[in-house]
Amino acid sequence: MSAILSFAYADRVHILTDGAFTDASGTLVGTACKVEILPRHKIAITGRALLAEKIYGVIAKFVHLSANEAADFTTDDMLEVIEAGFATLADQGEFPGEFFIGAWSEAHGPLHFFVPCHGACGKRARPFDMFNPGAGTQMSAGPELDLKGMGISLDELQSADFPEIFGAEIIGAMRASGSIAMGASSPSFNVGGRADLTTVSAGGVTSTLLKTWDEDVPGGKIQPSGRTH
């Protein structure tokens, strides 16, 4: 399971993620950046599910299509291809996962999307639809986060530099908070390893490693100090 936060600003989209990959028992099996950057388009995509391979199997298809130089897609074309891909996925039945996408559209500038592929979609998002909440919005998935309790103000949140300044602290707070993973029955600690910030803008897509937690060692459990559960 993952911690994912997506922020849309006037000139960029940020996707903030942790980097822990755990098995069904909560044992850490490895750490890595969880966001995939499409090779020929200004699009970044990530997701979360109880089994990470299900998410990255879907993403790999989009990466392959983006890399095809014979298909002269714009970023907006590629977003339509991705939308069609989720429609095809829907035809196969419920999929136990969800995706986050950040893009720089030729027509619309910065866009971010949430794609739930399960029943718990909320009031506005529908299964397998690319839900775009609009500019100046934030979306998140993972352990509950109390930004006000962390002393973060609304003005700070609205700054485009917010995810870079506070990203490591935010992932650290989510790492310390146990949660029930999608498809699991009891709380566990599945967030950690590292904090990565992926930024999508008119200039392209970049990824920055903000922090690592060296104590999160593959083969063991994530055991944050000061944990809340």
State the Rg of the chain over Cα.
17
What integer is the mean pLDDT of 40-55?
Answer: 92
Instruction: For residue 112, give every residue at least 6 positions away whose Cβ sits within 8 Å of its Cβ, in sequence order, or none.
Output: 6, 7, 8, 13, 15, 100, 101, 102, 103, 132, 133, 137, 139
Cα separation, 41 vs 123, in Å, equals: 31
Digit-coded pLDDT (tens) for 206-226: 999 999 999 999 999 998 874
Q: What's the confidence (pLDDT) of residue 227?
A: 43
pLDDT at 179 over 90: no
Cα separation, 99 vs 62, in Å, equals: 12
Residues above pLDDT 70, as percent of the chain = 91
Digit-coded pLDDT (tens) for 5-23: 999 999 999 999 999 999 8
Q: What's the confidence (pLDDT) of residue 160?
A: 94
Q: Can you point out the beta strands (E) in the chain?
A: 4-8, 12-18, 20-22, 28-31, 36-37, 43-49, 97-105, 109-116, 138-141, 194-201, 204-212
Average pLDDT of the residues of the chain:
90
Q: What's the confidence (pLDDT) of residue 120?
A: 62
pLDDT at 114 over 50: yes
Q: What's the confidence (pLDDT) of residue 118?
A: 80
Q: What share of the chain is helix, strand, coil (3-state, %, to 5)?
A: 20, 30, 45
